[in-house]
Every structure is written in structure tokens, then in C-alpha cells.
Amino acid sequence: MHIMEGFLPVVHATAWGAASTVCVGFGLRSIAKSVKDKPELKMLLGVSTAFTFILSALKLPSVTGSCSHPTGTGLGAILFGPLAMAPVATIVLLFQAVLLAHGGLTTLGANVFSMGVVGPLVGYGIYRLTKTVGLPVGLTIFLAASLADLATYITTATQLALAFPDPVGGFSASLAKFLGIFAVTQIPLAISEGLLTVLIYSFMQKYSSDELTSLGFNLTGGEERI
């Protein structure tokens, strides 16, 4: 879930906000460089942002009374690198907080760090690693998107455990509880997001092949075909 408005202590909210601000700054530089060198990528960046907005806005009830949702950041991380997703996630989360009451302004930094920093970093790292060992491209994208989703929720659980350690077991016990709460709904969601991301990438291969080629995806030699 997005951590809701006012839920984190002030010190925690401020610290996560500061960390996310630095990442957003680097991300803006990365995006500016990409679109300056290749203006035709603006449309593809817009599609990635819309994909993140739509998926992360799909709040689904959890068996624990909380909610879970996909993140949609794996696709953008694969296409534009992990840095670009920090400002993208900030825009998405800001609109959701203001328009959908999903998340909050005081917890924006924490939510950006989990969904726009850690998730994309993990997804991009998995994508590069699986490509290096020669796995099929469909499988690399599935693993990248799925594990980016799970990494986001592990980070959120860690943030909550740090803010609210268990009175008896401390941080570790609290983390185990939060991870257990999210796992029931989030693991199936992560698998579904991975499959959907593979389908979206296949669609892009068909209708945005020039843009993908300009990003360095080898579509002519067959390696990147799903």
C-alpha cells in the first residue's frame, strides 16, 4: 500500500522526503538528457508514466483490512533506467494523494522512495542480470517487473517496521508482521504485473519499434523479440 497521510512520525517522514528529493534530482537530469538527445522518446516516457499511474491506482482490498496494488515501475525502469522513475513516481503519487486520497503529502517521500527508487533499482538490476546470463527476453521482463513490485512492498514494510517497532520483538518482529500482511495479496499481484508488463512490451515492439531501437533494444536481430 501507499503509506497514508500523517501515518509516519515527523522525523521518519522528513528523512524519507530528503532521501527521495536527492533521487528525484538525479532522475530529472537523466530524463532531461534522454529527451534532449532523442525527443521522439517523449511519447514512450508518457506511456510509461500512464502505465505506472493506472496500475498503482488499482487499490485492491487485503485480507488484513489494508490494501495492495501493482506498481507499474518495472516497465519504465527497463526502458529508461531506474533514475528516471523517481520523478515519474513523484508525479504519479502526488496526483493520487491529491485526487484519489491514495497515500499522502506528508508520506510522499517515503512512498516515492519505495515505489520510485528501490523498486526500479531492483527491477533494472534483475533485467540487466538476466539478460547477461542469456534468459529469454520475455522471462527477463517478467522477473524485472515482478521483483520490482515485491521490492517496493518489502521497502514499505521496512519503513513501517522502523517507524513502529514491536514492543516485544522490536524491528525484526514488526517487519515479519508487515511482510506477512502484504504477502497474501502482493505476491499474486506481482506475478500478474509481470505478465501484464510482458504483454505491454510486446505491444510496444509492434507499434513503437523505432523508439525501442533508439533506446538500444535490438529488435532486428531477434534477441529482443518475445
pLDDT at 105: 93
Confidence of residue 127 (pLDDT cuts 50, 70, 90): very high
* Cα dist from 185 to 35, 129, 195, whole Å: 37, 27, 16
Place of cell 523508439: 211
Domains of the chain: 10-214 (1.10.1760.20)
Helix (H, G, I), strand (E, B) or coil at 67: strand
Q: Residue 16's pLDDT is what? A: 97
**Type of residue numbered 225:** R
Q: In the prediction, which pLDDT does 63 show?
A: 52
Q: What is the mean pLDDT of residues 50-62?
A: 83
Predicted TM-score (pTM) of this structure: 0.90
Q: What share of the chain is helix, strand, coil (3-state, %, to 5)?
A: 75, 0, 25
Phi, psi (rounded to 5 degrees) for 84:
-65, -25
* pLDDT on residue 109: 96
Whether the pLDDT of residue 223 is over 60: the answer is no
Q: Is 52 exposed, middle or buried (0-12, 13-18, 19+ CB in 10 A)?
A: buried
**How far apart, in whole angstroms, are the C-alpha atoms of residue 13 and residue 25?**
18
Query: Which amino acid is it at 50?
Result: A
pLDDT of residue 222: 47
- Residues of the chain with pLDDT > 70, as a percent, come to 92
Taking CA atoms, 44 is separated from 90, 134, 218, in Å, by 18, 26, 17
Instruction: Specify the range with the lowest mean pLDDT, choosing from 33-37, 69-73, 123-127, 175-179.
Output: 33-37
42 pLDDT above the threshold of 80: yes
For residues 131-145, average pLDDT? 93
